[in-house]
Amino acid sequence: LQLVNDLKPAIEHDELVLFYQPKLNLKLNKVTHVEALVRWQHPVRGMIPPDSFIPIAEKMGQMNALTRWVIDQALSQYLQWKEQGIELSIAVNISAENLKDDQFCHYVLQAIKDKQVPIDALTLEITEDAVVADPEYAIKQLTELRQQGLTLSIDDYGTGYSSLAQLKQLPVQELKIDKSFVQNLMVNEDDQIIVSSTLQLAHNLGLKVVAEGIEDEGSLKWLTQRGCEMGQGFYLSRPIEAKALTTWLSQSA
Ligand code: G
Ligand code: G
Ligand code: NA
Ligand code: MN
């Protein structure tokens, strides 16, 4: 709790930093997207992972400030990469509180306009549970963002409590299969069945699929062979700082 009393000053004092994890386009074998993941470089406690402060920030009503910072930062990074000739679309994680904020849509669209980035510079990753909190209002906001051309993605698919009926109403283009089904893909037959079925379901609904939690070459091949569009995981790269990602890209090209 004491930590979170520090979060607003932490934003002001530039103690937060975004790490980026590549999302590999499995058809092109090319990194076209990255996911932004926040870390807190605390002056005393050192690097604090998001699991240690995001859940508390949610409870303390600080996620709107945090997400706004993340979006601004991500769009600036998009422009920096673009200047270096690197085109990377950036995915940002959205929480339940953001979808309840009646200024959320406006903020996102205005940020895109102010920074003069194309609408596909940004993808929003939304967990099923973020929508479940207030589905009607969440769907209203997401529909508005979709109508403006933003790419929306369902995160951690398969771990939430939403029904297929609710999922059907979400105006999303992408589904991320949760890492818990992917991490042990090569040794767990049930996971293979779940992932194959999810790929079919998603494709039949016209959604692209991202598999997260790819930890070995076998899983990467298995997913590529079955038409999974994108892959993300420690086997490819951990989340790393922007500079390190630039280097990683030039070495893996
Ligand atoms: O990066 P890491 O794997 O440690 O992230 C742990 C959790 O924190 C994940 O569930 C991730 O979605 C969440 N997380 C990381 N950055 C953000 C962020 O900017 N906003 C939100 N809402 N969640 C984030
Ligand atoms: O909840 P969300 O999907 O946004 O969380 C992403 C989290 O998953 C990040 O904390 C990231 O560090 C973690 N992650 C990404 N790839 C892998 C992986 O291959 N294995 C494991 N165990 N975690 C991963
Ligand atoms: Na995510
Ligand atoms: Mn996820």
What is the DSSP track for 183-252?
TTTTT-HHHHHHHHHHHHHHHHTT-EEEEE---SHHHHHHHHHTT--EEESTTT---EEHHHHHHHHHHH
Instruction: Write down the pTM of the prediction.
Output: 0.96
Mutate to test the pocket of ligand 2, among 234, 237, 241, 245 (most ligand atoms within 8 A of CB): 234
Q: Is the ipTM of this complex over 0.85?
A: yes
The DSSP H or E segment spanning 64 is helix 63-83
Question: Which residue has tokens 């926040």?
Answer: 38
What's residue 219's pLDDT?
98
Ligand nearest to the CA of 11: 1
What CA–CA distance (Å, rounded) separates 238 from 213? 10
State the chain's mean pLDDT as an integer.
Answer: 94
| Cα atoms in the 13 Å half-sphere on the side-chain side of 17 | 15
| Position in ligand 2 atom list of the atom nearest CA 49 | 10
The tens digit of pLDDT for each residue in 188-247 reads: 999 999 999 999 999 999 999 999 999 999 999 999 999 999 999 999 999 999 999 999
Contact of 182 with 194, CB cutoff 8 Å? no
Ligand 2 site residues, Cβ closer than 6 angstroms: 21, 37, 93, 155-156, 179, 183, 212-215, 232-234, 239
Which residues of the chain have a pLDDT value below 70?
1-6
d(CA 90, CA 36): 7
The confidence score (pLDDT) of residue 1 equals 46
Beta bridge partners, 16, equal 40
What's the confidence (pLDDT) of residue 161?
75
The Å distance, Cα 148 to ligand 4 centre, comes to 24
Ligand 1 neighbours, Cβ below 6 Å, are: 37-38, 49-51, 54, 70, 93, 95, 239
Atom number in ligand 1 closest to CA 39: 16
